[in-house]
Structure 1
Amino acid sequence: MQVHTRHTPAFGVARVSLAAGEAVQAVGDTMIASSFGVTEVTQSKGGMRGHGKGAPSVFTAPAEGGWVDLAPEGAGDVYPLELDGRTGWNVAKQAFLARPSTVRVDHAWQPLQALFGGDNGFLEHYSGTGPLVLACAGPVDAFKIESGELITIRPGFLLAYPDTVQTRLRAVDPSGPQSIRTGEGLALDFAGPGTVLVQARKSR
């Protein structure tokens, strides 16, 4: 699976090129167009409830291969995050757009469960190899954090960070409203080395 983007960063579209028989899972109702012969199967809604989106679709290429054009519901960028099979990534739930079968969602990943105190938080963990396509509310910025450096990011702007980065979740104002599910009233402190991806506009 290969991903090429266009119309970025304001109205990003991801063209997913598939080899013979290759498949990609994507958020439902995000397909603009596809080459002739690509089949679509709608999956059970259960796996996408955490995204607050419709049931996902799986697009499979015919024997001669094919392509699918995908666009997020709202304006913004699309960003192919390449997973190398060695390092997992923690990704904002609302950012998922598409993934190949070689990239998996680790629903019960222990470090995230510990971060959120066992509750379902605003992040999910991905691992494997291949491009994980993310939908972003704005252009993507990469903060490269050096060893010993600390930065703070608000959850609404966070896109993704690798397992190699140390993370702490805390309340901005302990007396104010807070939500593990949405990130309201919370902040994330990161310690390097590593790179944290953010979006230049807050998620809706």
Structure 2
Amino acid sequence: MNIQLLYKPSYSIAKVNLSSGESIKAEAGALMSMSSHIQIQTAKAQQGGLFKSLKAAFLGGESFWMNTFTAPQAGEVLLAPTLPGDVEKLDLNGTVFVQSSSFLAADPKIDIDTKFQGLKGFFSGESLFFLKLSGNGPLVISSYGGIEVLDVEGEFIVDTGHIVAFEEGLQYEITKFGGWKSFFLGGEGFVAKFKGKGRLWIQSRNVPSLGSWFREELPPKKQ
């Protein structure tokens, strides 16, 4: 499998060249184009009983239906994220946590599970849920805006809307930004305090801020 990242950094896509018998698993709706002989199989991202299915559907905030593209002979698949931004390829060897909206594609051998980060995530209004990806192989993540890669050792604070992914060596807790005055009037909301040692991927834009901007710009409803 060979993965090329095209049109970086603003409107990136992933071009996946598959050899005979190879497959790539991608989020539902990511397909841009593909060779005519590529086969598609649609299935839930998780297996293992009713509880895991409910966990994925309700805690993850996603449908978690994914498409697996298989090449009976050599071919290509082009994958595009929903939001305009960057795409990065990770050669996974272990475990990484990815914001659910930032997952684009992965080797089918990589195990995908959800990690519920706690009830505080509901108050942030940002659907802060992570996919836990474990195994070995290529993983493709996407962002809204550009991606900044940080090597954290110690502590680091990130606005929750800017998190893309982080390695297993980092632990985090969700807390409000500053005091209550800053929280309600400063426009920041919740942040994640990371502790430990590992790599952290963040994005230069965040979707909640975009949604707030649109709501402010829309004309008021007529009574």
Would the TM-score normalized by the shorter structure come out above 0.5?
yes
For residue 54 of structure 1, report the CA deviation from its aligned partner.
7.7
Letter in structure 2 aligned against 1:142: V
Structure 1, unmatched stretches of 5+, are: 178-183
2:71 aligned residue: 61
Contact 1:30/1:71 (8 A) holds in 2: yes
Q: Which residue of 2 aligns with 1:88?
A: 95
Amino acid aligned to 1:135: S
Q: Percent identity?
A: 26
Shift of 1:126: 0.8
Deviation per CA, 1:82-127: give whole Å up to 9, x if none.
211xx311110111111111111133xxxx45x4269995212111
**Are the counterparts in 2 of residues 43 and 56 from structure 1 also a CA contact under 8 Å?**
yes
Counterpart residue number, 1:100: 107
Deviation (angstroms), 1:76? 0.9
1:180 maps to none
- 2:206 is aligned to 202
- Alignment match of 2:85 (pick from 56, 59, 76): 76
- Decide which structure has greater helix share: 2
CA shift digits 1:9-54 (9 cap, x unpaired): 1111101122221211212232121123111223359697435368
Paired AA for residue 27 in structure 1: E
Q: Where does residue 159 of structure 2 map in the other structure?
A: 154
Q: TM-score, with normalisation over the residues of structure 2?
A: 0.73
Over residues 141-191 of structure 1, what are the superposed CA-to-partner deviations in whole Å (9 max), with x where a residue is unaligned? 011223xx32100111001111112322223368669xxxxxx94211112
Indicate the RMSD between aligned Cα atoms, in angstroms.
Answer: 2.8
Pairing 1:17-166 to 2, within 5 Å after superposition: 17-44=17-44, 49=57, 50=60, 52=62, 55-62=65-72, 64-84=73-93, 87-107=94-114, 112-113=115-116, 115-116=117-118, 121-146=128-153, 149-166=154-171
Residues 1:16 and 1:171: Cα distance change in structure 2 (over 3 Å):
same
Q: Which amino acid aligns with 2:11?
A: F
Partner of 2:193: 189
Partners of 1:190 and 1:56 lie apart in 2 by 30
Greater gyration radius: 2
CA contact (8 A) 1:172 1:186 kept: yes
2:175 to 163, 170, 180: 170
Contact 1:152 1:189 in 2 (8 A): yes
Say how many residue pairs are matched: 188
Contact 2:26 2:67 in 1 (8 A): yes
Unaligned runs of 5+ in 2: 46-52, 122-126, 209-223
* TM superposition score normalised by structure 1: 0.79
